[in-house]
Every structure is written in structure tokens, then in C-alpha cells.
Structure 1
Amino acid sequence: MELPIKELDDRTDQATKEILQQVVEKKRKFDLYKRNHLIILWITLLISFFFLAYLYYTIIKPYSYSFAAMFSSFVNHTMNLYFLVIAVGSYGLMNLLRDKKEKAETEYHELRCEIIDKSKDLWKKDDAWGNRHFVFEMMKKYYGINLYHESK
């Protein structure tokens, strides 16, 4: 369990601490997928740009008089196939990571909204309701998780 969550002591019960720990883990998972998706997105764009530039200068420009000559030249060089497989593979990986990122984002926001909806049940007593503000501020300060509003 995270140290700031452990240090809440009597401000929350153990079940609430576990829920807060889970939302921190979901946020980290979402941030990881978001970062990986962005990295692969840029790699895919760079690979595609250089592959298309390579094709333009080595195949399209010299053999522009005939499509058959362009196709023949493309097929004659096996490196073109490797570059094409790498470009298409990186595009597929980018889409896979986008789907995982969206799933992680959905799980994170659902759990965050559940905490917001159940905050009246989690901090029932009047004195505990005052601690709720402290817990929400701690989550926002240390983890960047806004528990005040449901909107993203």
C-alpha cells in the first residue's frame, strides 16, 4: 500500500484505503498505457514517413512512367517487404495499445466515479466527513486524482 494512503490512519477505514489504493493502481496503469501508446504512435509516424520517402525516391520517381515497372522494382527488393511489415506491425501495435489505453481509462474513471458516488457512505459520521476533504486533497496532491467531480 502507498505510504500517503497508509498515513491516513484513523481518517478512513481499511476498506476505503483499499479502494483508494486500487484507484491509484488503475491511474498508474492508465498512465503507462497512455505513454506507451504515444511513443508507438510517434514511432509509427516516423517509420511510415521514412518508408514513404524511401519508396518515393527509389521506386516512384525513377519508374514513374509505368506502374508495372514500379511494382516490379518494389517486389525485386526484399527490404521493401521488411519495411512494409515493420510499418504495418507498428500500426497494429499502436491500435492495440490504443484499445488497452481506452479500457484502462474506462476502468479508472468508473472506479473514481464510484468513490465519488459512495463518499457519503464511506465517510458517514460528521467528524469523518471533515476528513474526507483531507483525503481528497491528498489524492489530488500526490497522485493527480480528482475525487471532487465526476467529469474527467
Structure 2
Amino acid sequence: MEAIRTDVDQGTDEATKVILKNVVKRKKKYDHYKSRHFISVYLTLGLAAVFLYYIYRTVLSPYSYSFYEMYEQFFVNPVNLLGTMILAAVYGSMLYFKKKMDKAEKEFHALRCEIVDRSKDLWKSESAWKNRHVVFQKMKDLYDINLFHENK
């Protein structure tokens, strides 16, 4: 955050500094939920693979001669129910983090586009307008936030 203050002082007013801090805060929030979603996706896939292998080895392979026996053996063993519940919980967390990530991305993108649209209002003076590219470049380099264009 301190890097913004020292780099943004070149022709930016307090309102612009607050807006830039907010966009950095929203970017960090988006990155946080993006990493959590990434971890939850691979955790779900890994646990599903392990659980399906376990079901294959304990239920499907030994009792493949009868569907009724497979069905019965699946529900007799409490580990199968526990594994199903754990897998459902991890899948639910994956959906939760996806929802949070999408919401954070939408908020971040909306604020970023607002800065791009209102750049003439935020940098009103001629000297500030000529030096705004320095602020934009610092935001791009330090926080990977593109303020030059509305496109991602």
C-alpha cells in the first residue's frame, strides 16, 4: 500500500488515491478467492479420484456379479457414507469459492473500468493528465492492474 502513496503523489488528488487503494484492495480480494478456488478444485478432483478408487477396490471389484450385492455393500460400510459426505462438503466449498471469486472479480472489474472511464475527471490538470501514464504503469507493474484499457 505504501508503494501506491509514493508513486501516486505525482499529480493525483486524495480522491484518486482512495480509488486506487480500493482497486488494489479488490484485486487482492479477487486473487485470494481465486487461489482458494484453485486449491478447492484440485482437492475435489484428488479426493474424488481416491474415493472412486477405494469404491472400485472394496465394492465394485469383489461384488461385480450382482448389482444388489454392490448396492448393499456400499451402504453397509460407514466409511463409504463418510467419504461421500466429505466429497460433497469439498465440492460445496469449491462452489462457494467459485461464487465468491466471481463476485470479487465483478467488483474489481467494475471499479477498474470506472477508473478507465473517469480518468479525465480524476486527472483534471494538464500536468496530471500527462503524468497519469506513470501511475498506470506503476499499477500494472506492482499489482498487475491494467488501467490503460477496459478489456481484461
TM-score range, shorter chain: over 0.9
1:109 aligns with 2:102: no
What is the deviation of 1:37?
A: 0.2
Provide the rounded CA distance (Å) in 1 between the counterparts of 2:94 and 2:145: 26
The corresponding residue for 2:146 is 146
Provide the rounded CA distance (Å) in 1 between the counterparts of 2:10 and 2:57: 69
Matched-pair identity in %? 48
SS of corresponding position for 1:11: coil
Provide the rounded CA distance (Å) in 1 between the counterparts of 2:144 and 2:93: 28
Provide the rounded CA distance (Å) in 1 between the counterparts of 2:4 and 2:50: 48
Which consecutive residues of structure 2, in runs of 5 or more, have no partner in the other structure? none
The corresponding residue for 1:4 is 3
Which residues of 2 match residues 68-87 of structure 1 at below 5 A? 68-87=68-87
Q: Which amino acid aligns with 1:84?
A: T
Q: Which amino acid aligns with 1:114?
A: E
RMSD over aligned CA atoms reads 0.8
Q: Output the TM-score relative to the length of structure 2.
A: 0.97
Which consecutive residues of structure 1, in runs of 5 or more, have no partner in the other structure? none
Q: Output the TM-score relative to the length of structure 1.
A: 0.97
Once superposed, which parts of structure 1, at least 4 consecutive aligned residues long, lie more than 6 Å away?
A: none
SS of corresponding position for 2:102: helix
Q: Which amino acid aligns with 2:17?
A: K
What is the deviation of 1:10?
A: 4.5
2:30–2:104 Cα contact (<8 Å) kept: yes
The corresponding residue for 2:39 is 39
The corresponding residue for 1:136 is 136
Q: Which amino acid aligns with 2:133?
A: H
1:66 aligns with 2:66: yes
Which residues of 2 match residues 21-36 of structure 1 at below 5 A? 21-36=21-36
Q: Which amino acid aligns with 1:6?
A: R
Once the two structures are superposed, residues 35-72 of structure 1 have per-residue CA deviations (whole angstroms, 9 ceiling, x without a partner) of 00000100000000010011011101111111110111
SS of corresponding position for 1:12: coil
Provide the rounded CA distance (Å) in 2 between the counterparts of 1:106 and 1:78: 42
2:140–2:147 Cα contact (<8 Å) kept: yes
SS of corresponding position for 2:18: helix
Once the two structures are superposed, residues 69-98 of structure 1 have per-residue CA deviations (whole angstroms, 9 ceiling, x without a partner) of 011111111011110000111111101100
Provide the rounded CA distance (Å) in 2 between the counterparts of 1:6 and 1:30: 22
